[in-house]
Structure 1
Amino acid sequence: MTSASWHARISCGRETGAGFLVTDRHILTCAHVVARSRTDDVTVSFGVPFADGKRDLRAQVVAHGGWDGRDTDPGDVAVLELDHPVPLKPAEFATPSDAYGDPPRRLLAYGFPKRYDEGTLAEYRATGDQLIAGEWVQLEAWAAHGQPLVPGFSGAAVTLAESGRVVGMVSAAARSPEIRNGRMLPAHVMARYWPRLGELIPTPEYGRGDKERLRRLIEAVAERGGPRCELERLFRDAVGPLGPPLPPHGFASLWDAAWYLLSEVPDSGAAARFAARLADFVEDAPTRSALRSWPRPRRYPAPPRPPAVAPGWSPILVEIAPSGSGEGQFLVEVSAYNGRHRRVVGSRPLPVDGVRPYVLERIDEAYHELEPGARELIAFVLPRRWLNADVAHWKRSTDDDSPLGAFAPLVVMDLERRRSGGLQHKLLQKWRHLDAQPGARLHRIDCGAVGQDPVKLTIGLRRGADMVGFGTPPRADGTRRLFQASLNAAVPVMLWPRTGCRGEHRGGAHGDCTGAVFLDRLAEHLAGLPPGELPSHIHELRETAYASDAPEPHWAYDLALLWEDPRCLPDPVGYLHSPVG
């Protein structure tokens, strides 16, 4: 491997060093070797002449690691670009860990010290894999004799003796000739400063094409001003609470964080979670979608369903919860289920006025995660005080003013109940009972029932009701108490009008109010319908109501549906692979 033609001699002014070809036009060397490139020409020599007989080629510095002139400065990397491609096979790289082991690996460096214009070899080994100042690895001589690292070796590729693959680059030598050691910039450290190098270095699971796509996506994000979040936060979300800590040197760029996950974090899924989490802070929709599907679109086949399970809904779940950081601040998360697999499409803390546009945009993107034949169900999990919100009336998008509830089956769920193990267990029992029954029992709560005892109502509903219909919205205190009692009874289905009678009639005259009419029509419509199919039937009813040309609003125009079947939203098998899992 000592005859590899990709070794290069670099000259810039009075400085001579080494370098190595990594593409047909790009050479890596030390920044200090070409420090005078602004005033002096940079020439590159290979050991073979080319078609025109020349060995010396002109080159330009096209990338720089930020080295600032002192021995201890980081980023002593420069990328040179030739005017034309050369017909030489570039260097190949080893995996980042191949430079170390027990016994130590024999490493070779091919440099160009004085009186060795044709180059000479030095034999070294890495003292260990610990990075000095987060940047260098110490090299020590393989033997007490032989060629030491001296001027002319700067920029030389450090290769494995048995394979010739590159593991790093010589960046410095000991100042005293009695001390036979030096420093190496490992290849994975150099890739922090020149992202294209990461495509050439082998990494677990992700190939060259995967890394090129990620690099280009990160460049697109950086060109638009970068993500609106801290790099450290993206890293923590990617590795999870039990993952590795932040590196001591921190992250200098978005690519630096991504490359650290690709090259130094054992969990190969962390980089994909990083890309998906980054997507949530990117405004450009195509870039966001590409990040979320990186490294490639994944379709998870739904496992076979056991008998007597709920219909095959594929929910798009919207969870809105108080963030704990102040009044009017919420944590919003949008997910898509494919079978039992849950994919988080977006998760963001937001002020109340940012919730609606964010949710609508992420719902639209969540459809990319559903199979073409999936039965979509948009499910809003809301704080109890938001259950009467007009989410079904939200305009579907900036380009579509039609209500979201007319676009797809839409239901709401209670956040507190969804977090209760006891109530979820009771809901499962209710659905098991419903699966064995020919029809569901509807319990009416008329607008004149606001004085009913909530505790007695809870106990009674547990025994004898599958669905509850309210004649009034849960806004007045009395109705809210009965509404909460129904939630505590683990009733799977609750329906009510968002507007209309508030249950505050005087003298008990409730028979001809809008609430009574609503319940009569509701009972007529629900007769004989299986509860598991109610989201579809209510969706059709909403379409009819929204499209009605009658002078008076359709009786179901403001119909709200709380519908919860935990079997459709199971504890997700794949949730640990979500970006915020």
Structure 2
Amino acid sequence: MIGGEWIQLEAWNGHGQPLEAGFSGAAVALAGTGEVVGMVTATGGRGVRNGRMLPTHVMARYWPELGERLPTPAHEDADRDRLRVLVAKAARAGLECSPQRLYLDAAGPFGPPVPPDGFDSLWAAAWYVLCELDDPESVTRFADRVEALLDAPRTGATARHALPDWSPILVEIDRSGAGDDQVVVEVSAYSAGRRHPVDSRTLAHRELRPYVRERIDEAFSHLTPDTDELIAFALPREWLNWDVDQWESGPDDPTPLGCSYPLVVTDHARRRGGLRHRLTRRWQGIDAGANALVHRVECDSGEDPRKLRLRLRAADVAGFAAPPAAERSRPRFDTALTKPVPVLLWPRSGCGGEHTGAWTDEAAGKGHGGCAGSAFLDAIGPYVAGVTPAELPRHILSLRETADAADDPDGHWARDVQLLWDDPRCFPDPHATTTHLHSPVA
């Protein structure tokens, strides 16, 4: 097809009736059976014996009622009709859903990808399933999913605030073993649960930022339309305090990366083994209505890490008053990282133990003897209260934007907030989902 829509018509011989102006809109029929297969849309011009037609299955993308009259050999008429009725019902009900996501669920991991321009309607995705997928179960999966969405309760928090449908871009940075100045970087995009490698190489530290900017731009081409982008940096534990959210968004765009996209960090070690399995179970158990109550870990609490381990057993969000490398907080921070706590928050330049120099932000800098970490926890707790853990990356994006736009950005209590956010469902096991970057079928 031309442009994904038209088919060229060519004369079989040099005589007979050519296509002429005025034929547009006429039916194109097969000579032997009379079956209508399209509609004339253009002629080749005077003396040119060709033209174009719009096939009937393309017409049905725009005219759903036509679909019930067209054959779909791979699928039963009853399945096709059920799908069409459910899609029509969804349109009348104003159902909010992602046609791209529904198509990918129906197609499965080995089905054709979403077309480059995506789907502009639920029917367009449904008709693509009928025309392009041979598996009869694909229509059933699509119809069952639409029916489940129609039957789902549409009241309460989940109706008022749709949870994000994250499509992450993962930037993995690690030591290279080739010298202190060298790092290994790999950038991947995750779409519909599948990992798409973008690029990987060994770089000097000074080359890191421009390389990551360029690869992130490339990774966006792999994301499914109508999903929520998320930038995630997987780092060694000693580098978790890197200010990656402050890196420039582009060579001509000085906007901090964390003010352009939801951005999180995660620990390499939390993406492996039993901890990964427990994290997955924890996320599955988080109710959509649960809010991000912050379990405070003060810089000078003196709490035994073993007692903290018990206290964090049911915690969804742990807030630290000091950064990971701070001498007083490091044992407790390591304890939290080795337990399935989905979210950790801290200020990168929080309390260092001296308790001097209170922050200038009036909303956060009172009554703590100059402890910036306690002031941060006092401010972040109410800010995230009532927010579900799944929404926190988007919520922290707004907070970073507010801090960056303040009259005194350096004095704002959230000037260097760091968010460690771990949902393994967004980052499937790379060994199970990746295709080798240089494979001829990647």
Bucket of the pairwise TM-score, normalised by the shorter protein: 0.5 to 0.7
Cα distance in 2, alignment partners of residues 393 and 377 from structure 1: 15
1:479 corresponds in structure 2 to: 329
| Structure 2 residue corresponding to 1:541, chosen from 393, 396, 399 | 399
Asked if 1 retains the 8 angstrom alpha-carbon contact of 2:293 and 2:384, the reply is no
**Matched residue, 2:194:** 341
Question: Hey, what's the Cα distance between the residues in 2 that align with 1:396 and 1:505?
Answer: 34
Once residues 299 and 515 of structure 1 are traced to their aligned partners in structure 2, the CA distance between those partners, rounded to angstroms, is 46
| 1:437 to partner: Cα distance | 5.6
Rounded to whole Å, the distance in 1 between the matches of 2:425 and 2:204 is 32
Give distance in 2, aligned partners of 1:566 and 1:474.
Answer: 22
Secondary structure at the counterpart of residue 179 of structure 2: coil
Alignment equivalent of 1:566, drawn from 424, 428, 434:
424
TM-score, normalised relative to structure 1: 0.45
Distance 1:444 1:354, change over 3 A: same
Q: Does 1:459 align with 2:317?
A: no
**1:409 lines up with 2:262 in the alignment:** yes
Listed one character per residue, the Cα deviations across residues 227-272 of structure 1 (whole Å, up to 9, x for unaligned) are xxxxxxxxxxxxxxxxxxxxxxxxxxxxxxxxxxxxxxxxxxxxxx
**Cα-to-partner distance string for 1:320-373 (whole Å, 9 max, x where unaligned):** 122233333221100111112211111101222222221111011111222332
1:492, 1:563 within 8 Å by CA — same for their partners in 2?
Answer: yes
Residue 377 and residue 468 in structure 1: after superposition, are their counterparts in 2 closer, same or farther (change >3 A)? same
Larger radius of gyration: 1
Report the CA distance between 1:316 and its aligned residue.
0.5
* Residue type of the alignment partner of 2:285: H
- Displacement of 1:435 in angstroms is 2.1
1:261-286 CA-partner distances (Å, limit 9, x unpaired)? xxxxxxxxxxxxxxxxxxxxxxxxxx
1:487-528 residue CA offsets vs partner (Å, 9 max, x unmatched):
11121111111113213449xx95552211111110110111
> What SS does the aligned partner of 2:201 have?
strand
Which residue identity is paired with 2:308? Answer: L
For residues 433 and 118 of structure 2, what CA distance do their matches in structure 1 show? 12
1:515 aligned partner: 373
TM-score by length of 2: 0.58
Give yes or no for the alignment of 1:362 onto 2:215. yes
1:487 and 1:315 mapped to 2: Cα distance? 21
d(CA) in 1 for partners of 2:391 and 2:423?
A: 11
Measure, in 2, the Cα distance between the counterparts of 1:473 and 1:427.
Answer: 22
**Counterpart for residue 290 of structure 2:** 438
Looking at structure 1, the residues matched to 405 and 186 of structure 2 have their Cα atoms a distance apart, in angstroms, of 31
How far apart are the structure 1 equivalents of 2:408 and 2:284?
Answer: 41
SS in structure 2 at match of 1:566: coil
Aligned residue for 2:411, secondary structure, equals: coil
Please say if residues 459 and 489 of structure 1, whose CA atoms lie closer than 8 Å, have aligned partners that are also in contact: no
Deviates more, 1:539-548 or 1:566-575: 566-575
RMSD: 3.1
Give CA deviations for 1:191-231 in whole Å, capped at 9, x if unaligned.
xxxxxxxxxxxxxxxxxxxxxxxxxxxxxxxxxxxxxxxxx
- 1:569 is paired with a residue of what secondary structure? coil
Unaligned runs of 5+ in 2: 1-114, 120-124, 130-140, 150-157, 357-366
Match of 1:351 in 2: 204
Letter in 1 for 2:239: W
* Identity score, percent: 51
**Are 1:448 and 1:510, in contact at CA under 8 Å, matched by a contact in 2?**
no
Q: How many equivalent pairs are there?
A: 281
Report which of the two has the higher share of helix: 2
**Is 1:576 paired with 2:428?**
no
Matches within 5 A, 1:74-223: none
Could you tell me which amino acid in structure 1 is paired with residue 382 of structure 2?
E
Q: CA deviation at 1:298?
A: 11
